[in-house]
Amino acid sequence: MQNAKNTLIVSAALACAVSAPLRVSAATIASAPYGATQQGQAVVQYTLSNARGVSMSCITYGGIVTRLDVPDRRGRRADIVLGFGSLNDYEKYNGKIHFGGLIGRYANRIADGRFELDGHTYKLPVNEPPNTLHGGPHGFDEKVWTVVKTFQGAQGAGVQLRYVSNDGENGFPGTLTVDVTYTLTDDNDVRIDYRAKTDKPTVLNLTNHSYFNLAGEGSGSVEGQLVMIAGSAYTPTRPDSIPTGEIASVENTPLDLRALTPISARLRSANQQMRFARGYDQNWKLNKNGQHNAEATFAARAYDPASGRVLDVYTTQPGLQFYTGNGLDGSVIGVSGTAYRQTDGFALETQHFPDSPNHPAFPSTELKPGDEFHEITVWKIGVR
C-alpha cells in the first residue's frame, strides 16, 4: 500500500512539473522520399511537427518511427529514439532489432511456434528457437505499408497506415486488415491507434518497438534514467522467455518499479528472472482492475534527470514489456555514428501478454470476424 501511495505522490509531483499546454497553432505534416526497398518498393517518410518544438518522423517501411525530436528543460532538441540513417540499414538489421517498428501479427513470443484455435492447431515459423518471436520472420515491421490518409487540424497532425496480411501469412489464419494511425498533438502527445479486422478467427497482438534514450540517441547508457511501471504483478517466464502461466507479485523483486527507480538500481540483480533475460525483458500486468478501458490509462513513466525530459505512457492494453536493449552488442551503428550497446536504449512495449493463445487464463488475443481490434497507446512528452 505504501508503494501505491508513493507512486501517486511521485505521479502528482511530476504531472505538475510537466509544461502546461500552450495555445499554439495546429501541428503540421510533411513528406519526403525515403528511397526504395531491395524489391523496388518506394518508401516515404512523414514528419509530424508542432509549434512547441516536438517532431516525429515515421516511414512507410514497417511503420518505423525513425526520429522523435524533443526539447530538454533548456529548450535544446534531441532525437530520443534509436534508429538508423538509411533504409538499407533498416532492411538489413530490423528483422532482429526492430527499431521503432510496428510489430505483428503477434508481438512477443509464442511457445514452440504453435497454438490452438477453435480445435485447429496452427504452426508458425520459428525464428527464436524453439519459439516464434514478433510474428515470425519478415513480420509487419519489414513490410511496406500503404498510406490511407494524412491530416492536420485542431486534433493534431497525423498519418494513417494500412497493411493487409493474407490468410496463412507466417502460419496465422485469416486475411487481416490492419490500420495504424500516428498523431502528434500540440499538447506534445504522440498517439498510436491500432485497428484491425479479420475474415476468419485469428489471434493478434500489436505494438510499437521504439527504443528510447531520453538523454538523446547516441548519448550512451540509460542506466541513470528512471522508470516507473504501474504494475503490481508480472508474468514469470522459463529461461527461453515463455511465460509459465503464473501471474506473480512484483513485491520484493527487482521488478517492483511502482515508484520511480534508476534503471541501474537492480539491473544486475541475481534474481532468476533478471538472469534469464540478462537484464529487464519482462511483461508487467498493468493495474487496470480487470477492465478493458475504452480510453488509455497510465502505464509507465521514464525520466532523465540530466535533461529533464519526461515520457509518460498511457494505454488501453493489459500489459507492458520493459526491455533494456539486452541484445545490443555494438554490432550495429546508429544514425549518429555511435555503436549501440546494451542499455543504450529501453523499450516500453504496450501489449497483450506473451504466449496468450497458449494460456487461457491470460487476457484473450482472439479476434473474430465482425469484431474490431482497437487499442490505443499515447506517449506524453514533457520536461521537469
Residues with catalytic annotation? 209, 349
Which residues does the annotation place in the binding site?
A: 108-109, 209-211, 281
Cis preceding linkage at 130, omega within 30? yes
Cell readout for 163 is 497493411
Q: List, in sequence order, every residue forming a beta bridge with 281; answer none if it has no partner.
A: 323
Which residue carries 533498416 as its cell?
90
Per the DSSP assignment, residues forming a β-bridge with 48 are 29, 56
Answer whether the bond into residue 105 is a cis peptide, omega within 30°. Answer: yes
Q: Which residues are annotated as a binding site for beta-D-galactose?
A: 108-109, 209-211, 281
Q: How far apart are CA 91 and CA 70, in angstroms?
A: 26
**Grid cell listed for 262:** 534508476
Instruction: Report the Cα 292 to chain-centroid distance in Å.
Output: 19
> 319: which 3 cell numbers?
500489459
Task: Assign 3-class secondary structure to 201-230.
Answer: CEECECEECCEECCCCCCCCCCCCCEEEEC
What residues pair up with 312 in beta bridges, in sequence order?
Answer: 301, 380
